[in-house]
Amino acid sequence: MDKITLNNNIQMPMLGFGTFLMSGAECEDSVLSALRSGYRMIDTAEAYGNEEAVGNAIVKSGILREELFLVTKVNFRSYENTRATVETSLKKLQTDYLDLVLLHWPFGNYYAAWRELEKLYQEEKIRAIGVSNFDPDRLIDLIEFNDVVPAVNQIETHLLCQRRAEHEWLEKYHVQHMAYAPLGQGRKNEMFEASALAEIAKAHGKTAAQIALRFLMQSGVVVIPKSVHEARIKENFDVFDFELSTDEMAQLVKMDTAVPMIGSPENPAMVEAAMKW
């Protein structure tokens, strides 16, 4: 497993397993399959409602806690009760510490929530703290007026929305870029049908999904693909035995439309959807 060192010297896997829209037995079985396939980072969130299922899968796996990297998020509706929310996550995940906790959206009183996360970080209940769906202006503002620089910003990132401008800002402030929806979700077909991607996949004897993940990882972006199908779970993990050339990377850069489909706090449809969580 390739790892990257965060701004507080904690090591984080470059590839993890996402659990968005998973629940119950399906979530538990999928996470267990991922762990057995080699994944050691699991991403969940309070808003997903599946932390308990993730925790059950981890216990069933028998993998030592110190070998895992657990990520969860505090939903913006809970920002006034951040400490209690994190403590509930600890119980549901059946662990006494979390590797990374993120503020899920830049809505509500996220300053109060961030300062509570800072306290939990200082108490060593959380090894690293970060944010999700923060545009550069809000991220920089948070950095300038608080003590702890976010270790991670998790944002929608894939071949059709590579977040290249945002990536430059993240590098400047030493915040790790983490991609959710790295395979495009609703734009998967549009992405996978691109001729450049298909040709590169054929040249390496890999699938389009594997090339898409490898591109992001070589760009310094952490990825968390999700699937409930065992074959796909294994396929998405099989990306460490090849490397894209400089020319292939350049071809894939051209696929970028710079338009996020999901994660923009300025998108009215996204705000409306978030309010329903």
User: DSSP 3-state assignment of 266?
Assistant: coil
Question: By C-alpha distance, which of 50, 185, 46 is closest to 104?
Answer: 46
- Is the pLDDT at 275 greater than 70? The verdict is no
Angle 13-18-20 (CA atoms, 0-180°, nearest 5)? 155
Find the distance separating the first CA and the last CA of the chain, reported in whole Å. 33
| pLDDT value of residue 265 | 59
Q: What percent of the chain clears pLDDT 70, i.e. is strictly above it?
A: 94
Kindly give, in sequence order, each residue whose CB lies less than 8 Å from that of residue 31, ignoring residues fewer than 6 positions away.
17, 19, 22, 42, 53, 54, 57, 58
> Do the bridges between strand 11-13 and strand 3-5 make them parallel or antiparallel, or are there none, so unpaired?
antiparallel
pLDDT confidence band for 273 (50 / 70 / 90): low
| In contact, 126 and 97? CB cutoff 8 Å | yes
Q: What is the pTM of this model?
A: 0.94
| pLDDT value of residue 71 | 98
| In contact, 155 and 121? CB cutoff 8 Å | no
Annotated catalytic residues are 48
Q: What is the pLDDT of residues 151-165, one digit of tens each?
A: 999 999 999 999 999
Residues facing 155 on adjacent strands: 179
| pLDDT value of residue 277 | 46
| pLDDT value of residue 261 | 83
| Arithmetic mean of pLDDT, 113-132 | 98
| Arithmetic mean of pLDDT, 84-93 | 98
| pLDDT value of residue 96 | 97
| pLDDT value of residue 240 | 97
| Arithmetic mean of pLDDT, 72-99 | 98
| pLDDT value of residue 152 | 98
Q: What is the pLDDT of residues 216-242, one digit of tens each?
A: 999 999 999 999 999 999 999 999 999
| Arithmetic mean of pLDDT, 242-266 | 90
Look-up of token digits 């913006």:
76
Q: What is the pLDDT of residues 4-59, one digit of tens each?
A: 999 999 999 999 999 999 999 999 999 999 999 999 999 999 999 999 999 999 99
Bin 180: left if φ > 0, else alpha if -120 < ψ < 50, else beta. beta
Look-up of token digits 């990297």:
69
Instruction: Report the mean per-residue pLDDT for the chain.
Output: 94
Instruction: Measure the CA–CA gap between 69 and 204, rounded to whole angstroms.
Output: 30
